[in-house]
A = this chain, B = another copy of it.
Amino acid sequence: MKLKDLGEFNFINRIGRKIKLSGRVIKGIGDDAAVLKYTRDKYLLFTTDMLIEGKHFNEDDKAGLVGAKSLSCNISDIAAMGGVPKFAVCSVGLPDSLDLKYADELYEGIKKIAQRFEVDLVGGDTVCSKKIVINIALIGEVEKENLTLRSGAKGNDIIFITGNIGGSIKFRHLNFTPRFKEARFLVKNFKINSMIDVSDGLLADLGHILKESNKGAAICEKTIPLSKYAAGFDSAVRDGEDFELVFTLSERYADRLENMWPFKTRLSKIGRILNGRKGFTLVRKSEKSERIKPAGFTHF
């Protein structure tokens, strides 16, 4: 059996199903970041992302943007837990035929994001590789009361999304701002029941919230904010790498959030968490409802 025959093969989740963890681990594999015991008031967060040339970026993409993306997607994971990014280590595999200028621009891209989000770049590894590979691992912190998991969605919660989705591959996947300040505003001012960042596509990632929370959801086509790059609704909800936040909170606070929202970043109500029926109900623009499968970006 080959990996491609398995449909979606997720090595890390496969590990996660089998592994026994110590009592120091609050949440292991299966959220945007691991949650680890730390101080009396805070948890440590720990996440990692690998970018490979030809898959997450192309050889003619600007090196500075590639570097920026490699750190930004990790910051997005820490933000989706309600946390603050702190320390990063960076491994790079580079071809020996690569121009020094490219390597320096890659680094400048990482540094720019590190400075902007006050992340200390404290270590790493350099190896020789045919294709460019960049792996960043990021440690963050979160106050215990601000920790936001995928698993906390409650029936009747309103589902929100930041920004616009779809077509990120055309440009924005290399030039996005992780929704760190939005996430911190949310967790500090509201009881956010569940949150995730959209890396595998809205349907797949909201699907993770539903699965972890053991809930269903109804979402409305007409309320879902499409980017100008989106090819259409059905692809936009399956495109990966939007790096927007999807979160749920009690409907009691939904209006207050919309009134208080202080950012230029768009905020949209896109549906509701359902207690009963699992999976998605999609209300089309025609008002017809249909059941849909949470398929998104697949690794294989």
Write the residues of chain A forming the contact surface with B, with a CB cutoff of 8 angstroms: 1-4, 6, 9-15, 18-19, 21-22, 24-25, 28-29, 33-34, 36, 39, 44, 46-52, 54-56, 86-87, 89-101, 103-104, 107, 110-111, 114, 118, 120-131, 133, 135, 137, 139, 299-300
Number of copies: 2
Query: Judging by beta carbons under 8 Å apart, are A3 and B100 in contact?
Result: yes
Residue in contact with A50 in the complex, picked from B21, B101, B133, CB distance below 8 Å: B133
Q: Cβ of A21: which chain B residues have Cβ within 8 Å of it?
A: 120-122
A89 to B137, CA, bound (A): 8
What are 13 of the A-B contact pairs (CB < 8 Å)? A6-B100, A11-B103, A14-B107, A15-B90, A15-B107, A22-B120, A29-B122, A34-B122, A48-B135, A48-B137, A129-B131, A131-B131, A139-B139
Residue in contact with A97 in the complex, picked from B2, B33, B94, B299, CB distance below 8 Å: B2
Query: Judging by beta carbons under 8 Å apart, are B127 and A56 in contact?
Result: yes
- Nearest neighbor of A6 in chain B, beta-carbon distance: B100
A91 to B135, CA, bound (A): 8
Query: Judging by beta carbons under 8 Å apart, are B28 and A121 in contact?
Result: yes
Query: Judging by beta carbons under 8 Å apart, are A55 and B123 in contact?
Result: no
Residue in contact with A15 in the complex, picked from B10, B28, B29, B111, CB distance below 8 Å: B111
The list of the 4 closest CB pairs from A to B, nearest first, reads A137-B137, A34-B122, A12-B124, A50-B91
Residue in contact with A133 in the complex, picked from B1, B52, B90, CB distance below 8 Å: B52
Q: Cβ of A19: which chain B residues have Cβ within 8 Å of it?
A: 111, 114, 121
Query: Judging by beta carbons under 8 Å apart, are B133 and A103 in contact?
Result: no
Query: Judging by beta carbons under 8 Å apart, are B128 and A131 in contact?
Result: no
A222 to B33, CA, bound (A): 51
